[in-house]
Amino acid sequence: MHRYKELEIWKKSRLFCSQIYEITSKFPSDEKFGLTNQLRRASVSIPSNIAEGSSRSSNKDFSRFLEIAVGSAYEVETQLLIASDLGFVNNEESEKIAGELNEIVKMISRFRTTLKI
């Protein structure tokens, strides 16, 4: 069992989630139940799956939850690209947030390799 609040991947993904909320607060109001909701849910899923997986009794189970967190990260990446295509996010902001997301994915992937399965 891991203490998720001590994991850098959890801390970083939690802060990332807050950034997504800030970015999506500027989206058009008619996107409230569309892209805004999808981005927020997918971003919340990243630290949530890390936390949930850390409570599992085996590293194999934890690794599976980390895999789901990476899937959610790719979901966020896709949705950010769509938001950029629609002009909801400017290129500079999009590149910055994509870089942070990429770092989170790398951190999760590296951490998964350290788990003895």
CB-based contact 94:84 (threshold 8 Å): yes
Does this model's pTM top 0.85? My answer is: yes
Query: Tell me: the pLDDT tens digits for 1-55?
Result: 679 999 999 999 999 999 999 999 999 999 988 999 999 999 999 999 999 999 9
Residue 67's closest CA among 1, 5, 117, 19?
Answer: 117
Give the chain's domain count: 1
Length of the chain measured in residues: 117
Check residue 57 and give its pLDDT.
84
pLDDT tens digits, 62-101: 999 999 999 999 999 999 999 999 999 998 888 999 999 9
Q: Residue 61 is part of which domain span?
A: 4-25+33-114
Look up the CATH number of the domain holding residue 49. 1.20.1440.60
Closest C-alpha among 77, 22, 30 to residue 85? 77
